[in-house]
Structure 1
Amino acid sequence: MGLKKISRLSNDFYQDYSDEKYEQILKKKTRPYSIFTVKIDNNLYAIPFKTNLTHKNGFFIKSTGRNILNKIQG
């Protein structure tokens, strides 16, 4: 495995990938979106970090304050 990095989607990213063409990309002006990038066999992958998943198709980080708060709230 090659390059590994955590970063946020930038304003330049959103200019390059507009809402009209890429409507599935989340965008809220008051919220940053973090991604984990990894390069494997010369292919670059960007894996989004998500919170409050409503399904089990993801990796859940159990030790964060937000996750603990969600369990308390129900």
Structure 2
Amino acid sequence: MLLLAEGAYAANPDPIPFESARYRAAADLDNDGYVAGREELFPLYAAAARDYTQPVFAYGPPRLVRLGVELLF
């Protein structure tokens, strides 16, 4: 997973300005209006890699639900 994040960061290390839709205030650690540098950008790439590598249908073990109906006349 980290290898995938490293590759993504190496491909696009450009800063993300405040005006961008990709800007996240929580990721802007120094509050300068840019998400720039490895310490700010790499956690975003690592989170995206975690989301990308998680199986889509990983809901856990299957559950069994039984419903019973009894009608007496």
- Higher normalized strand content (fraction of residues): 1
What is the TM-score of this pair, normalised by structure 1?
0.26
Answer 1 or 2: which has greater helix percent: 2
Decide which structure has the larger Cα Rg and report it: 2
